[in-house]
Amino acid sequence: MKFDTPAGTNPIDQLKVVGRATDRIDGKYKTTGTAPYAYERHDVAPNQAYGYVLGAGIAKGRVRAIDAGAATRAPGVLAVVTTLDTPKLGLGRMNYATLFGGAEIQHYHQAIAVVVAETFEQARAAAFLVRVDYAPEAGRFDLAAEAKSAKPVGAGSGEGSGSGAEDRTGDFEGAFARAPVTLDETYTTPDESHAMMEPHATVAAWQGDKLTLWTSNQMIAWGKESVAKIFGIPKENVRLDSPYVGGGFGGKLFVRADAVLAALGARAAGRPVKVALTRPLVANNTTHRPATLQRVRIGATKDGVITAIAHESTSGNLPEGRPETAVDQTKLLYAGANRLTAMRLAHLDLPEGNAMRAPGEAPGLMALEIAMDEMAEKLGLDPVEFRIRNDTQVDPGKPERPFSHRDLVGCLRLGADRFGWARRNPTPGQVRDGHWLVGVGMAAGFRNNLLTKSGARVRLDRAGTVTVETDMTDIGTGSYTIIAQTAAEMMGLPLDRVVVRLGDSDHPASAGSGGQWGANNATAGVYAACVKLREAVAQRLGINSADAVFADGEVRSGNRAVPLGEAAAQGGLSAEDTIEYGDLSKKQQQSTFAGHFVEVGVDVDTAEVRVRRMLAVCAAGRILNPKSARSQVIGGMTMGVGAALMEELAVDKRRGFFVNHDLAGYEVPVHADIPHQEVVFLDEVDPMSSPMKAKGVGELGLCGVGAALANAVYNATGVRVRDYPLTLDKLLDRMPDAA
């Protein structure tokens, strides 16, 4: 189905199932431990052996020799595959560090061997017997030092955001020079780790030339293509299956070393092999969100109208790597006739930087939205009012291009009202509650809505049950449930008459899970397939499909009402289709918006920051399942608390690696860090997005939260910290004297 004109009224608009807060249909499996994740697929292949991955102990250089003799002779060992035994493998889609093969070490903990044994204990012990001789080389590991030699680079994030090396509208320098009120500040964000709870894991089995990977991957079609590329085998010989994914956040967009080494290990051992990356390997072996150095300049009239805005960002990556696209949202978020965005990329020999939840916008808004708070203060304006004053309903760089639907102002107004913003004391450091200095802060949230084609197959059986099959994944996003809701709505069935099968590359290729594009596109694909199935049902029953009403498990036309299953009485019906998009998103800008509000307490003695209240008001089109969508937003808010207060991959700038490479060293928020969180969705639809009229929310919840929190810390203490995370050491020196 081609979607190239705005959606009119369609069966989804009945909202009998879609749009209602619905318990997840996979909930009873997840809560009982019966949902199978990759490493647990004991049933799929007999006689599985265990692989244990060894990572390089240097950051850059070459492997001179590997002595695997003792490991090979160790009890239970079936095979040892080393990187020196293996030619350098091809690169998968959107990756640029070699996953395995050859002597070159590009980054710390790059995989150099897999030991396969009868048991996990044997494989692990034998892995420690592998002796490696390295020829280390000097590398570049310090972003601040390399920033001076960083080159201008334009690129996309691979997840929607993107920017040129330098993009201009009007005359930024001139307007900035003339502006009566200006701001020019630099902000930094650190390297961050996805730290999903399920480490990357795969069971691999070969049947002749055919390879099956039961794995944990967000993007099945990309993964299938990548595995074929990496091993140089035809795509048809590769199958991926990933029905449950224990979190990804961008870290499982790609095929990683677990899959590659399980496959190589299985080939060497001649039997199925399963591999999970150990937790200490995850941070350096896989990808991460790159650190940024960002400069923001804003010029405005005295009454707070922005006349000039510039956002420049420098990040680092391996050669061939992409920049963190932190300036992208600044093209669209606020008005202003004179604009500049620019990106630079430094060569670093740290592990591969790549997409993590809201790549670009997440770190970009952490800078921009502090700058807006600082600018509002300079102007003597309320930060909410300053943002409202600079709202735009068109793409400021291309004023002929409107937003499809934009209610940022609604988010900010409602949020301010709900949060009690009017009671805020604009003078920092004034509010005290016991030993806490209390402050509130806010920020705008922004993330684009991305359209990408997505397919599904729907089958009807004689019992009147509809089964949906697509390679779409559910990484915690609620895909199972919204897909079931979509099919139920389209076919006039209750939810429990729909079966959803996800994550298998034998199913039609979907949008996959990334860039908050999954929900709208994957359900639109199911919509398209259901339209075809409705036609097939009507034809089978001899009903004019235009007249057919699908409701309450029946197909009705005039006085006739037939149970849906009857259409499949002579054999099941099946329909498959793919939603594809025209140029609607080029003509009109599709984005999602939020107002984030946070209250913090800062300990007057120790400068520990603790969050007391959080609210997000979101405008993201139709909300397909308010229950799981809310969870997506609070999950983003929680990750935003981590980014603001504690998360930082600590770089050893001499040895070239992330030192805190486990979950004790890399702190993510715990229960005690997170207060009750409130989310409000504005009641809206966006007919430009798809027949579902929905947009993404999976990343919006993260976008802007960090800055709202940083602004709250400033309001509490009067200390402006521009370097994330806002750990107490950055506040302590400037805290008011303890009483």
Partner 1 sequence: MRSFTYERPATPAAAAAAVAGNPGARFIAGGTNLLDLMKLQIETPAHLVDVNGLGLDRIEPTAEGGLRIGALVRNTDLAADPRVRKDYAVLSRALLAGASGQLRNKATTAGNLLQRTRCPYFYDTAQPCNKRQPGSGCAALDGVSRQLAVIGASEACIATHPGDMAVAMRVLDARVETVDAKGSERAIPIADFHRLPGDRPELDTTLRPGELITAVTLPRPLGGTHVYRKVRDRASYAFALVSVAAVVQRDGTGRAAFGGLAHKPWRVEAAEADLAKGAKRAAAGILAGAKPTPDNAFKLKLAERTLGAALNQARA
Partner 2 sequence: MSRRELVAGASAAAALTTLPTRAGAAIAAADTPVMAKVALTVNGQRRDLDLDTRTSLLDAAREHLHLTGSKKGCDHGQCGACTMIVDGRRINACLTLAVMHQGAEITTIEGLGQPDNLHPMQAAFVKHDGYQCGYCTPGQICSGVAVLAEIKAGIPSHVTADLAAAPAVTEAEIRERMSGNLCRCGAYSNIVEAMTEVAGRQA
Give catalytic residues, as residue numbers.
699
How many angstroms from the chain centroid is the CA of residue 596?
A: 19
Torsion of CA 537, 538, 540, 541, to 10 degrees: 120
Question: Could you say whether residue 433 binds partner 2 (CB under 8 A)?
Answer: no
CB of 128 to partner 1, least distance (A): 5
Among 13, 14, 16, 30, binds partner 2 (CB under 8 A): 30
CB 147 within 8 A of CB 293: yes
Q: Which does 229 bind (CB under 5 to 8 A by kind): partner 2, partner 1, none?
A: none
Q: Which is nearer to partner 2, 450 or 611 (CB)?
A: 611
The residues, ordered by sequence, that sit 6+ positions from 684 with a Cβ below 8 Å of its Cβ are 405, 407, 619, 621, 622
Contacts to partner 2 from residues 188-217, by CB under 8 A: 194-199
Q: Which stretch binds partner 1 (CB under 8 A): 124-132, 303-311, 469-477, 554-562?
A: 124-132
CB of 560 to partner 2, least distance (A): 37
CB of 631 to partner 2, least distance (A): 5
Helix ranges, 155-241 (H): 172-178, 220-231
CB of 118 to partner 1, least distance (A): 14
Q: Which stretch binds partner 1 (CB under 8 A): 165-173, 457-465, 568-576, 728-736?
A: 728-736
Question: Could you say whether residue 645 binds partner 1 (CB under 8 A)?
Answer: yes
Q: Number of residues in contact with partner 2, rule: CB under 8 A?
A: 70
Question: Could you say whether residue 512 binds partner 2 (CB under 8 A)?
Answer: no
Question: Could you say whether residue 345 binds partner 2 (CB under 8 A)?
Answer: no
The continuous run of DSSP H or E covering 708 comes out as: helix 705-717
- Dihedrals φ, ψ of 252, to 5°? -120, 25
DSSP 492: T
Q: Which is nearer to partner 2, 24 or 322 (CB)?
A: 24
Among 76, 136, 553, 563, binds partner 2 (CB under 8 A): 76
Q: Which does 546 bind (CB under 5 to 8 A by kind): partner 1, partner 2, none?
A: none
Contacts to partner 1 from residues 651-670, by CB under 8 A: 651-652, 654-655, 659-662, 664-665, 667, 669-670
Q: Which is nearer to partner 2, 330 or 628 (CB)?
A: 628
Among the listed residues 160, 220, 93, the one whose alpha carbon sits nearest the alpha carbon of residue 479: 220
CB of 252 to partner 1, least distance (A): 24
Among the listed residues 281, 310, 306, the one whose alpha carbon sits nearest the alpha carbon of residue 295: 310
Tell me the C-alpha distance between 45 and 324, whole Å: 40
Task: Count other C-beta atoms under 10 Å from residue 433's C-beta.
Answer: 9
Q: DSSP for 336-401? A: -SEEEEEEEEEE--SSPB---SSTTHHHHHHHHHHHHHHHHHHHT--HHHHHHHT--SEETTEEEE
CA atoms within 13 A on the CB side of 409: 11
CA distances from 40 to 37, 118, 254, 476, 671 (A): 6, 16, 20, 18, 27
Q: Which stretch binds partner 2 (CB under 8 A): 104-112, 246-254, 321-329, 459-467?
A: 246-254
CB 209 within 8 A of CB 233: yes
Q: Which is nearer to partner 1, 128 or 494 (CB)?
A: 128
Among the listed residues 416, 414, 510, the one whose alpha carbon sits nearest the alpha carbon of residue 457: 510
CB of 659 to partner 1, least distance (A): 4
Q: Which does 402 bind (CB under 5 to 8 A by kind): partner 1, partner 2, none?
A: none
Whose tokens are 């989804």? That residue is 12
CB of 129 to partner 1, least distance (A): 10
Question: Could you say whether residue 603 binds partner 2 (CB under 8 A)?
Answer: no
Size (the chain), residues: 739
Among the listed residues 630, 635, 636, the one whose alpha carbon sits nearest the alpha carbon of residue 680: 630
Q: Which does 36 bind (CB under 5 to 8 A by kind): partner 1, partner 2, none?
A: partner 2
Q: Which does 655 bind (CB under 5 to 8 A by kind): partner 2, partner 1, none?
A: partner 1
Gap between the terminal Cα atoms of the chain: 68
Q: Which does 651 bind (CB under 5 to 8 A by kind): partner 1, partner 2, none?
A: partner 1
Strands 210-215 and 338-347: unpaired
DSSP 609: E
Question: Could you say whether residue 392 binds partner 2 (CB under 8 A)?
Answer: no
Among the listed residues 577, 573, 554, the one whose alpha carbon sits nearest the alpha carbon of residue 564: 554
Q: Which stretch binds partner 1 (CB under 8 A): 391-399, 516-524, 709-717, 723-731?
A: 723-731
CB 556 within 8 A of CB 549: yes
Bond from prior residue into 725 cis (ω within 30 degrees of 0) = yes
Question: Could you say whether residue 634 binds partner 2 (CB under 8 A)?
Answer: yes
Q: Which is nearer to partner 1, 125 or 259 (CB)?
A: 125
Question: Could you say whether residue 606 binds partner 1 (CB under 8 A)?
Answer: yes
Task: Count other C-beta atoms under 10 Å from residue 151's C-beta.
Answer: 12
CB of 714 to partner 1, least distance (A): 19
Question: Could you say whether residue 33 binds partner 2 (CB under 8 A)?
Answer: yes
Q: Which stretch binds partner 1 (CB under 8 A): 522-530, 582-590, 602-610, 699-707?
A: 602-610
CB 621 within 8 A of CB 690: no
Among 131, 605, 734, 736, binds partner 1 (CB under 8 A): 605
Contacts to partner 2 from residues 646-685, by CB under 8 A: 662-664, 668-672, 674-677
DSSP 603: E
Helix ranges, 98-161 (H): 120-127, 143-146
Q: Which does 76 bind (CB under 5 to 8 A by kind): partner 1, partner 2, none?
A: partner 2
Q: Which stretch binds partner 1 (CB under 8 A): 119-127, 223-231, 394-402, 700-708?
A: 119-127
Contacts to partner 2 from residues 115-134, by CB under 8 A: 119-122, 125-126, 129
Dihedral sign, Cα of residue 144, residue 146, residue 150, residue 153: negative
CA atoms within 13 A on the CB side of 236: 0
Among the listed residues 188, 258, 165, 269, the one whose alpha carbon sits nearest the alpha carbon of residue 217: 258
Binding mask 146-185 for partner 2 (x = CB under 8 A): ----------------------------------------
CB of 328 to partner 2, least distance (A): 24
Q: Which is nearer to partner 2, 57 or 247 (CB)?
A: 247
Q: Which does 42 bind (CB under 5 to 8 A by kind): partner 1, partner 2, none?
A: partner 2
**In the structure encoding, which two tokens stand for residue 49, read together?**
């052996």
Strands 466-469 and 398-402: unpaired
Question: Could you say whether residue 118 binds partner 1 (CB under 8 A)?
Answer: no
Among 212, 354, 638, 711, binds partner 2 (CB under 8 A): 638
Question: Could you say whether residue 635 binds partner 2 (CB under 8 A)?
Answer: yes
Residues making contact with partner 2 (CB under 8 A): 23-24, 26-37, 39-40, 42, 74-76, 119-122, 125-126, 129, 194-199, 244-249, 276, 278-280, 475-478, 627-628, 630-632, 634-639, 662-664, 668-672, 674-677
Residues making contact with partner 1 (CB under 8 A): 57-58, 121, 124-125, 128, 280, 435, 603, 605-606, 608, 610, 645-646, 650-652, 654-655, 659-662, 664-665, 667, 669-673, 725, 727-729, 732-733, 738
